[in-house]
Amino acid sequence: MIRLLLFYGFLVFSLIGCESVGLLTSIRNYYEVAPQVKLGEDKEKALGLLLPAQEKLYGWEKKAPESYKEGGNLVEIYYFRTGWQTDGLTTDDEFVPYVFTNGVLTSIGWTALGGPKTVGQVIQPAPVTNIEVNQEKN
């Protein structure tokens, strides 16, 4: 029975570990290329550096780009994964937005957008009960 539990535990850990490897690699890759991207650069140059850094992400690990018109200008927002919480949620605070106005990078980060709309939830460990303490002593 213990061998079976160990096997299933290893299997689950392996699957979770493999999934997070691509996520963590993409985050590391972002931090390697991000300093090369400067305000005022054209969209093609900036995205040419940033998009390949995050190609290992699954669809649910990404945040879709957004776009809108403002005063005759085309505003496009691309989000890049820069963090990961183990809460099972994909929230804004795990990304950095890059804002392009008419194809030129005009903003990096949440300041111009008024801050992230969603944030991760800190998961507190379950409290230890007297029953658990007594079981450990036996």
Rounded CA-CA distance 12/6 in Å is: 10
pLDDT in tens, 10-65: 434 444 444 578 889 999 999 999 999 999 999 999 999 999 999 999 988 999 99
pLDDT in tens, 116-129: 776 776 655 666 66
Domain 2-121 belongs to what topology? Beta-lactamase Inhibitory Protein; Chain:B, domain 1 (3.30.1450)
Residue 115's identity, in one-letter code, is G
The gap between the terminal CA atoms of the chain, to the nearest Å, is 21
Rounded CA-CA distance 59/95 in Å is: 14
Provide the residue ranges of all domains of the chain, joining segments of one domain with +.
2-121
Residue corresponding to tokens 């213990």:
2
Query: Which residue(s) pair with 76 in the sheet?
Result: 67, 100
Alpha helices per DSSP H over the chain: 2-33, 43-53, 130-137
